Structure 1
Amino acid sequence: MKKLFTLLSLFVVIGMSANVFAQSSTGSAPYPGAMHNYSVNGGTNNGSSFTWDVLDASSSSVVGSIATISAVGSGAKTDATVNITWAATAVPGTEYIVVVEETDASGCKNSKGLPVIITQSAFDLIVVNGGNACYENSVEVTWSGGQAEGDVTYDHGTAEVTYTVKAEGVGATETWQFTPGVAFTQTDIVATTVTVKDETSNVVSESAGVYSLTGPQTVTITVVVDNNNIYNNGSAANAQDFTATLSLTNVAAGTGAVESDATNNSDNLSVSRPNTSQITTN
Structure 2
Amino acid sequence: MADGTSGKTAPYLRVAAMMRARIADGTWAPGDRMPSRTDLGREFGVGENVIRRAQELLISQGQLEGRAGSGTYIRSPQKRRPLPRIPSDGQRGGSGIAPAGFEGTWEADSTAKVPAPSAIAARLSIEAGSLCVRTVYEFLTDHRPVLLSTSWEPMAVTGGTLVVLPEGGPLAGQGVVARMAHLGITVDRVVELPHPVLMGREDAQMLGVASGSRATLIERTHYDDAGRPVETADFLVPASLWDIAYDIRLAP
Q: TM-score of the superposition, structure 1-length normalised? A: 0.29
More helix by share: 2
The higher radius of gyration belongs to: 1
Identify the structure with bigger relative contact order (alpha carbons < 8 Å, sequence gap 6+).
1
Higher strand share: 1
